[in-house]
Amino acid sequence: NIFPNPIEDNFHITTNEINGLFELYNNLGQKVKSTNLTSNKTMITRGNLKQGIYFYKISKKGIRLDMGKILFR
């Protein structure tokens, strides 16, 4: 679960899977952010990501657990 969505600055990821990997891609399919998920709730900072739609993937040991899109305002 990712919230809030749409995102202004920071966002949170809640998951039952610890030691997973969060990856964020732009609309060209380029990876723009990658973070290890070391707890059930992780805060991610937007950094310098521009406004627009991004696609995320959460995986563990190469197995995709979740995917979707998020919107940065």
Report pLDDT digits (tens) over 18-31. Answer: 889 999 999 999 99
Cα 60 → chain centroid: 14
CA 1 to chain centre: 10
CB 11 within 8 A of CB 50: no
Residue 40, both tokens:
């059930």
- Identify the bridge partners of residue 51 per DSSP, sorted by sequence position: none
Is the alpha carbon torsion for 30, 56, 67, 35 positive or negative? positive
Q: Residue 73: helix, strand or coil by DSSP? A: coil
Instruction: Kindly report the number of other CB atoms within 10 A of residue 20's CB atom.
Output: 20
State if pTM tops 0.85: yes
73 residues of the chain, pLDDT tens digit each = 899 999 999 999 998 878 899 999 999 999 999 999 999 999 999 999 999 999 999 999 999 999 999 999 9
